[in-house]
Amino acid sequence: MAARPSWRGQIRLALVSISVEIYPATKAGKSIAFHQVHEPSGQRVRYEKVVPGIGPVDRDEILKGYEVEKGEYVLLDPEEIEKVKLESRKTLELTQFVDYSEIDPIYYDKPYYVVPADDLAEEAFVVVREALRKAKKVGIGQLAMRGQEYVVSLKACGRGMVLETLRYADEVHKASAYFRDIGNAKPDPDLLDLASTLIEKKASGFDASEFENRYIEALKGLIAEKIRKKGKRVIQDDSPDTPAKGSNVIDLMAALKKSIDAGDRAPAKKAAAVKKAPAKKAPAKKSA
C-alpha cells in the first residue's frame, strides 16, 4: 500500500459515517522522457519564470491570480485556496445509487482503492461494501481533493471498494455532433452474420497482462539504432500516414469470410500437434 493516501475522510450514508483512506489504483506506464535540445550547441533548453521589464523571479514570489479586468488580478495564496469551505473536503456523502449500466463509461476518469482508516471503521465498511455488492449498485457523491471537487462513484471490489472520479456533463462532447453524418442504413444481413460469427470466435475474457506498450519498445529500438549510427537520421517506416480508403461490399464479404476461415484453421493445427505427441512416445515405452 502507498505510504501516503490521496485523501482521508469519511464516507457518509445517512447517519452512518465510515473513516476511510483512498489510494491511486493506477500508476504511470512505461514511457521515454525526451528533453528539448538546442541542435547547434547540443545544450538542453531551460525555462525561467520571467516578468516583463523585471526579468527572472523567484518561485516564492509567485501567487495565483484571477484576471478580473485586462491586466488587473485578484491574488490568492495557496493557504487561502486550500481553506475554501467545502464539506466534501472531508466527507463523501452518498446521495444516490444507480445500476452499473446507468453510467456511460465515457464519464469514468480515474480509479482509487478505498480502505477503512482503522479497525473501528472496518465493520461499517464491510456492511456498506456488501450492501452495494448485493444490490449491484454504485454509490454516487461528491468529493473535494487537490483543489477540485469531483463527482465520484463507489462500488464493491474484492475485500475493498473502488472509487472512480467522474467527468462533469460539460466536460464531455455531445456524440451527436460527431455521429450525425453517419447514415441510418441497415447493414446487409449476410455481412452482419459473418461479422457476428467472427466476433463470437474471438470472444474471450479480458486480461490486461496480455498487452504491452509496443510503441515504447519501438522507440527504444530507434534510439539504439541512432546510437549505433552515431546520430545519423533513421527512418524506419516510409509508408504514408494517410489511411487507406474503405473497401466496397464485395471486398468486405471476402475479408470477413477469409478471417473466419483463418480462425478455423489455426486451432486445427494445434490439435494435430497434440495428437502426434503421444504417438512418438509409445515406441519408446515398448523398447524400454
pLDDT at 273 over 80: no
pTM attached to this predicted model: 0.71
Q: What percent of the chain has pLDDT over 70?
A: 85
Q: How far is CA 176 from CA 172, 173, 179, 182, in A?
A: 12, 9, 5, 10
List all residues 6 or more positions away from 270 whose beta carbon is below 8 Å from its beta carbon.
none
Q: How far apart are CA 88 and CA 11, in angstroms?
A: 10
Residue 277 — very low, low, confident or very high, per pLDDT cuts 50/70/90?
A: very low
State whether CATH 2.40.290.10 applies to domain 7-26+83-171. yes
Query: What's the mean pLDDT in 120-135?
Result: 95
Mean pLDDT, rounded, of the chain: 83
Question: Could you tell me where in the chain the CATH 2.40.290.10 domains are found?
Answer: 7-26+83-171
pLDDT score for 198: 85
Confidence of residue 245 (pLDDT cuts 50, 70, 90): low
Give 250's pLDDT tier (boundaries 50, 70, 90).
low
Measure CA of the first residue to CA of the last residue in the chain; give whole Å.
Answer: 56
Give the CA distances from residue 131 to residues 16, 114, 156, 161, 188, in Å, rounded to whole numbers and listed in that order.
Answer: 13, 16, 9, 12, 46
Looking from the CA of 80 toward its CB, the CA atoms found within 13 Å total 7
Position with higher pLDDT, 103 vs 230: 103
Lowest mean pLDDT of 147-156, 177-186, 197-206, name the range.
197-206
Is the pLDDT reported for residue 175 higher than 50? Answer: yes
The pLDDT value recorded for residue 240 is 66
Task: Please give the full DSSP string across 105-161, using - where no structure is assigned.
Answer: GGGEEEEEEEEESSHHHHHHHHHHHHHHHHHTEEEEEEEEETTEEEEEEEEEETTEE
Q: Is the pLDDT of residue 280 over 50?
A: no
Using DSSP, state whether 12 is helix, strand or coil: strand
Please write the tens of the pLDDT for every residue from 54-108: 988 988 889 899 899 898 999 888 888 777 777 788 899 999 999 999 999 999 9
Question: Phi-psi region for residue 146, left (φ > 0), alpha (ψ -120 to 50) or beta?
Answer: left
Confidence at 21, pLDDT banded by 50, 70, 90? very high
Give the rounded percent of residues in the chain with a pLDDT score beyond 90: 36
In sequence order, what are the residues at sequence separation of 6 or more whose Cβ sits closer than 8 angstroms to the Cβ of residue 162? 25, 111, 112, 113, 114, 154, 155, 156
Contacts of 141 (CB under 8 A, 6+ apart): 88, 92, 93, 94, 95, 151, 152, 154
Q: Which of 155 and 281 is assigned the larger pLDDT?
A: 155
- CA-based angle 22:27:28, to the nearest 5? 150
Q: Is 96 helix (H, G, I), strand (E, B) or coil?
A: strand
